[in-house]
Structure 1
């Protein structure tokens, strides 16, 4: 399983999002999986991957939360969570998305 967190430097949510992804991986029984971080620095970098704003979490190259449009813009992403809009999904949302993708 190849899991990546795509982010831009000026969007602070990527740090906490990474922690949440690691926790979700452990909870889903994938503690051996390594989360890789990819800094998106240019519009060309964004166009080359499934980037939909920072942070974007991909699993085997696919956006773990499809539905947002791909974007070449170097901007922050907003997620729908049970508590409303947020800069990252919850641990539970990430775990459920990983489980649904892998199973």
Structure 2
């Protein structure tokens, strides 16, 4: 399993997403999965990948939380969580999404 976080400098959610993703991968039996952190620093860089705002979490190249689509703007992403809107998914949401992928 390949995990990647696409992020921009101006959104703080990337760090928390990385921490929670590592815990979720470990909890779902993917302790050896590495997490690649990819800085998106221009609209051109965003256009080259599946970027849906920062942080975008990809598993094996696919957005773990499919949204309305990709963007080319350097923008923060908002996730709908049980506690309201956040700049990252919850640990439970990550575990469930990873488990659903197998």
TM-score, normalization: structure 2? 0.96
Aligned-partner Cα distance in 2 for 1:96–1:68: 20
Structure 1 unaligned spans of 5+: none
Q: Which residue of 1 aligns with 2:12?
A: 12
> Structure 2 matches for 1:50-65, cutoff 5 A?
50-65=50-65
**Residue 68 of structure 1, CA deviation:** 3.4
> Structure 2 matches for 1:1-103, cutoff 5 A?
1-101=1-101, 103=102
| Aligned residue-pair number | 102
Which structure 1 residue ranges, 4+ long, deviate > 4 Å from structure 2? none
| 1:43–1:73 contact (8 Å) kept in structure 2 | yes
**Residue 57 of structure 1, CA deviation:** 0.1
Structure 2 unaligned spans of 5+: none
